[in-house]
Structure 1
């Protein structure tokens, strides 16, 4: 399990391609000046108690970059001591998020019967990026997500297109033996039509052709529509984490 945790966390950071990445023993410290939390939050590479002084070293690392400290910490008993230290320093945990895994063959089967999988490209086009900036999405956050996903090396970009527009999109990164799904978006007016399933199926098809077998993603714990889709695609939760930041 420890090797799997490290592989998933290293792949997660690589997929969001932060401006820089530091490290202390057992932790990655990604540094980024955008809005994508995974690109700017310290994360442990194993589920084990943090060494004494870890929090101070994380705070120093982010201060040296002119960034506020943030930790992405699993809701596990082994981190009880670190969580108590965080709470004593007036940090608060928020945005519970699930790390889920599946096989790519399970994911490929989620497209609606008779529906074609999404088109998959090796670079994002303007229509793909435009979906992140459209109605129903925060345009500033969307622009930052396009930036970090577009600059990751070797990623794939899936699109369902209708009438010259991209109405559903997603991305897939590869690293440390895993494929990973990121940036799932569906036009607000087109939801409920199975378009996201077509995105997953298209990405899975290409990943299988590349010889990958397993896939992970991260989804907010309260995003019920996405959870239902991922459940149909065979995803199961491995652990839950929260983002810890100092209170204002």
Structure 2
């Protein structure tokens, strides 16, 4: 990146540029012979007390003392993605929230407080799509009290990395001692190619297994075996059912076990679980995928591809044309699998937890 004018490094940003995307170069070893620099790009989220605060696309907060600033400039917003369906982060956040509805919710201005007995952070966190209608500190205290009344930690789900995301909110939470615990990528893709995936695409079939697609059963509700295969399942409670079965049009996929026991229904062994599962919610043009899981001993047989293909084909029949999903940033195998299916990163979201003192 070019910071020079007439061969000299220049700083062309001021505190008036807070909220803009900037590129900065800072001294990493002030006083070192020859000078050593470190570059950073992100949204300038604050400039107070002689310290600049940048929030990167991945949600990382970078603090730079003015004394270490060697150069800086405002840069254009990140270019629009060239693959996948067009959408704003706010649109995808709303669609994803409808696909994973909480058991209980309450508005706080433009924020939505969500609780579901602790079942997943997504269903037990604030969705801040707008202004809370209160000063920041008062709004955060209200959030902490609301969750404490339900015996839950307070989380806020914050997006970064797109044109309409919430880097400034991330920086505000960081400044108040909130803790970023979990990050996930929101990925999108055209739906039709996903429906065409199978054992020959995505994950290769195991040696000797052939290339025939395994049978995939689709149902409107999850059976007991499906729930046993789902790794986040911790008990069949009303809150779990409300979240999993909620949404405009929900379907559950299951690949029957190779040798289901006597009495198995649709491949679900009363004492076991399917070989693979998945879930899809159709909402207008969007098909949202989640809970795609394969038994460890059944992996590399193309079962995940078969589940995705079956759910996508049904979603196409319902009129959907675009796909999205959410995958945690530290789940390398899942990210590689979705890469092969054509999913690209749209933006990232993070769950920020209130400090133990409640932020007071």
TM beyond 0.5? yes
In structure 2, distance between residues paired with 1:139 and 1:44: 26
Instruction: Please show how residues 3-82 of structure 1 align to structure 2 within 5 Å.
Output: 4-45=88-129, 53-54=135-136, 56-61=138-143, 63-65=145-147, 66=149, 67-76=152-161, 79-82=166-169
| Residues 132 and 139 in structure 2, CA contact (< 8 A), matched pair in contact too | no
In structure 1, distance between residues paired with 2:234 and 2:337: 26
In structure 1, distance between residues paired with 2:340 and 2:240: 26
| Residues 36 and 141 in structure 1, CA contact (< 8 A), matched pair in contact too | no
| 1:121 Cα deviation after fit | 1.4
Provide structure 2 residue ranges, at least 5 long, that are not aligned to the other structure: 1-79, 81-85, 201-211, 261-267, 269-273
In structure 1, distance between residues paired with 2:338 and 2:354: 32
1:224 corresponds to which residue? 332
Greater percentage in helix: 1
| 1:50 Cα deviation after fit | 8.3
- The count of corresponding residues between Structure 1 and Structure 2 is 242
2:117 is paired with a residue whose SS is: coil
Give the stretch that moved more between structures: 24-33 or 214-223.
24-33
| Residues 11 and 176 in structure 1, CA contact (< 8 A), matched pair in contact too | no
Shift in CA distance, 125/80, structure 1 to aligned 2, threshold 3 Å? closer
Establish whether residue 245 from structure 1 lines up as the match of residue 340 from structure 2. Answer: no
1:169 is paired with a residue whose SS is: strand
Shift in CA distance, 176/207, structure 1 to aligned 2, threshold 3 Å? closer
| Residues 58 and 69 in structure 1, CA contact (< 8 A), matched pair in contact too | no
| 1:189 Cα deviation after fit | 1.7
1:102 is paired with a residue whose SS is: strand
| 1:34 Cα deviation after fit | 2.1
Provide structure 1 residue ranges, at least 5 long, that are not aligned to the other structure: none
Establish whether residue 118 from structure 1 lines up as the match of residue 228 from structure 2. Answer: no
1:209 corresponds to which residue? 317
TM-score, normalisation: structure 2: 0.60
Q: Deviations over 1:105-154 (max 9, x none)?
A: 1211221133146221122222212212xxxx465289775662134453
1:111 is paired with a residue whose SS is: coil
**4+ long deviations beyond 6 Å:** 49-52, 141-144
In structure 2, distance between residues paired with 1:80 and 1:151: 30
TM-score, normalisation: structure 1: 0.84
| Residues 159 and 167 in structure 2, CA contact (< 8 A), matched pair in contact too | no
Instruction: Please show how residues 140-155 of structure 1 align to structure 2 within 5 Å.
Output: 140=234, 148-152=243-247, 154-155=249-250
